[in-house]
Amino acid sequence: MQYNYYEVINMKLLLASIAVLAVVVHGLNENVYRPCPQFWLSFNGNCYRYFGERVTWEAARDRCRDHYSFNGRADLVSIHTEQENGFAYDLFRSSAGITPSTRPPYYGAWIGAYQTTSGSTGRFIWTDRSGLNFERWVPGQPDNHGNNEDCAHLWRRNAGDDIFQGWNDLPCEEDLPFICKVAPN
């Protein structure tokens, strides 16, 4: 069987159209393995993202929970090792100059540790319900100053804090940027 020139061209166009349609229907990006959602960074088996928008702790938690991967719902970052703390701190520190506080040189980024009872002096827990098996409080913290510091944040007063990479408790109504964490795809 012999095909003429136009039949060959039409057949090639048909095959090309089918290929394009398959890409559109199934999505080009669906065929590419991405361990983390777009714009999220991978570290030790989880995905992280810094958000520079300054919001209350509760609004930060809710914004994190608006994000999903194939394997779960995001939440404010829970920190379980020194290495993970350093990674989260570096995410915050590398962007801190972009979102300065109204009280320079005070910088912070919400993390998922909080007290379930407002104004208490009890232990902090993580929003994702994982165990609080690692803590990195700045010396003298948490102090629950004014009986209303129930939420935790990474804290940076000055360049010296880059070595310690500590946490502080703060009123949950303060406006800070935040870091989210989610399981990879």
**One domain for residues 90 and 11:** no
Q: What percent of the chain has pLDDT over 90?
A: 55
Bigger pLDDT: 118 or 160? 118
| pLDDT for res 35 | 87
Q: Based on the fold, state whether residues 71 and 144 are members of the same structural domain.
A: yes
Domain of residue 26, residue span: 1-32
Residue type, 79: I
pLDDT value at 101 more than 60: no
Cα gap 3→153, rounded to integer Å: 71
Model confidence over 48-89: pLDDT tens digits? 999 999 999 999 999 999 998 888 899 999 999 999 999 999
More confident residue, 160 or 83: 83
Number of domains in the chain: 2
Q: For residues 2-21, give the mean pLDDT.
A: 56
Please give the average per-residue pLDDT across 91-107, as a whole number. Answer: 62
* CATH at 151: 3.10.100.10
Separation of alpha carbons 45 and 35, rounded Å: 9
Give the integer Cα–Cα distance in Å for 78 and 64: 12
More confidently predicted of 32 and 166: 166
Whether residue 10 is found in the same domain as residue 64? no
Residue 88: exposed, middle, or buried by beta-carbon count in 10 A (0-12, 13-18, 19+)? buried
72 in the same domain as 133: yes
Q: Choose the weakest-confidence range: 35-49, 82-96, 169-183.
A: 82-96
State whether 125 and 162 are in the same domain: yes
Asked if the model's pLDDT at residue 24 lies above 50, the reply is no
Same domain, 25 and 47: no
Same domain, yes or no: 60 and 128: yes
Q: What are phi and psi of 36, to 5 degrees?
A: -125, 155
